[in-house]
C-alpha cells in the first residue's frame, strides 16, 4: 500500500479522529464511570464477559462520528459483532474499516478501576493504517500511523529493549480461560527469567509494551477490536508481534495461538519459543 493511498484514506483526519474519540468518552463513558447501577451491567457470555450501557452508547457515538469523517467506511465494533457476527466479515471487504472497542477493560470500568481505554484502529484489506488508544481516566492518548511512528500525549513513543539478562515481564491471557493446548502453552512462560501475570485491559498492556514498561504479551484470543490498535502502536514504537507459527498476527483471523507482542524481535522470539513455537 503506497503512502499516497494512506494519505488519501486518512488525509488530515488523525486529529479529527482523536477529537471524535475524546468526545465519545466525554459524552458516554466518563459520566458513567463509578456511577453504574446493576441495571447498567449485563453478562454476555459469563461473569467475565460484561457489557455496560457505556460500552453500547460509546460504540454508537463512534460509529456515527467515524463514518461521517470517512464516507464509505464501515465499523466493526465489539458490541455490533456480538449482536450480529456477520459484521466481522467487513474486515475482509474493500471498504476502509474502523475497528472499535468502546470500553476495553470493561471489568475494570465496572469495578471503578481507571485501567480501561477506548480503542480505535483504521484498516483496509487487513492492513492496519492508524490507531488511537485513549485512557480517559488516566489522561493518556496514544496515536500510531503506519510507517510514521507512535506518540503518547504528543511525545514520541519508543519501546526499547529489555536489559540483557533481565527478567522478562509478560502479561498473559488467564490460562483457565484458554483451551487445554493454549493453557499448556501459556504455562510454558512459568520459568526462570520470566515473570508472567494475567492481563488487564489489552489496550493498556499494548501501551505498556510500546512505552517499554512491559516486555511482552501472550494472548490466546484473536478478536480484532482487542488487538488492532495495540499491534500497530507497538510496531510503530519499535516492537513486533509473532504467532505460534512464527508469522505476524493477522487481524483477519486464522492465527496460530497464543501469539506474542514484544518490545523487540529477540524478546518476541524468546516468548514464542517458551510458548512452544518452533
Q: How confident is the model at residue 278 (pLDDT cuts 50, 70, 90)?
A: low
The pTM assigned to this predicted structure is: 0.94
Query: How do residues 23-72 score in pLDDT, each as one tens digit?
Result: 999 999 999 999 989 898 887 765 567 889 999 999 999 999 999 999 99
| Backbone phi, psi, residue 134, to 5° | -125, 120
Q: Which three cell numbers stand for residue 6?
A: 494512506
104 pairs with which residues across the strands? Answer: 117
| Tens digit of each residue's pLDDT (9 = 90 or more) over 35-44 | 989 898 887 7
Q: In what order do the strands lie in the sheet with 194-198?
A: 194-198, 168-172, 216-219, 259-262, 240-242
- DSSP lists the bridge partners of residue 135 as 140
- CA–CA separation, 278 vs 262, rounded Å? 17
Region 155-165: what's the mean pLDDT?
A: 96
> Which neighbouring-strand residues pair with 248?
none
Residue 177's pLDDT is 72
| Radius of gyration, CA atoms only, the chain | 18
Domains recognised in the chain with CATH numbers: 3-156 (3.30.540.10), 168-274 (3.40.190.80)
The number of residues making up the chain comes to 278
pLDDT tens by residue, 165-190: 999 999 999 877 778 888 888 989 99
**48, 53, 54, 59 alpha-carbon torsion, rounded to 10°:** 100
How many whole angstroms separate alpha carbon 198 and alpha carbon 151?
26
Amino acid at each position: 500500500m503506497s503512502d499516497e493511498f494512506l494519505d488519501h484514506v486518512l488525509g488530515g483526519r488523525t486529529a479529527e479522529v482523536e477529537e471524535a474519540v475524546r468526545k465519545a468518552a466525554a459524552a458516554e463513558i466518563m459520566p458513567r464511570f463509578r456511577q453504574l447501577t446493576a441495571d447498567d451491567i449485563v453478562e454476555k457470555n459469563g461473569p467475565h464477559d460484561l457489557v455496560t450501557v457505556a460500552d453500547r452508547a460509546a460504540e454508537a457515538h463512534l460509529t456515527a462520528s467515524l463514518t461521517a469523517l470517512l464516507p464509505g467506511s464501515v465499523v466493526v465494533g465489539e458490541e455490533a459483532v456480538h449482536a450480529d457476527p456477520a459484521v466481522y466479515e467487513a474486515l475482509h471487504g474493500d471498504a476502509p474499516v474502523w475497528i472499535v472497542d468502546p470500553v476495553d477493560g470493561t471489568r475494570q470500568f465496572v469495578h471503578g478501576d481507571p485501567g480501561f481505554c477506548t480503542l480505535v484502529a483504521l484498516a483496509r484489506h487487513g492492513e492496519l493504517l492508524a490507531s488511537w488508544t485513549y485512557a480517559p481516566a488516566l489522561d493518556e492518548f496514544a496515536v500510531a500511523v503506519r510507517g510514521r511512528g507512535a506518540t503518547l500525549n504528543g511525545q514520541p513513543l519508543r519501546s526499547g529493549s529489555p536489559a540483557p539478562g533481565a527478567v522478562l515481564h509478560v502479561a498473559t491471557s488467564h490460562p483457565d480461560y484458554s483451551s487445554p493446548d493454549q493453557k499448556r502453552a501459556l504455562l510454558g512462560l512459568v520459568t526462570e527469567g520470566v515473570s508472567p501475570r494475567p492481563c488487564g485491559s489489552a489496550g493498556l498492556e499494548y501501551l505498556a509494551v510500546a512505552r517499554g514498561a512491559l516486555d511482552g504479551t501472550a494472548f490466546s484470543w484473536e478478536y480484532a477490536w482487542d488487538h488492532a490498535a495495540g499491534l500497530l502502536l507497538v510496531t510503530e514504537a519499535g516492537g513486533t508481534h509473532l504467532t505460534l507459527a512464527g508469522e505476524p498476527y493477522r487481524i483477519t483471523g486464522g492465527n496460530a495461538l497464543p501469539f506474542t507482542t514484544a518490545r523487540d524481535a529477540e524478546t518476541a522470539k524468546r516468548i514464542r519459543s517458551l510458548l512452544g513455537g518452533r
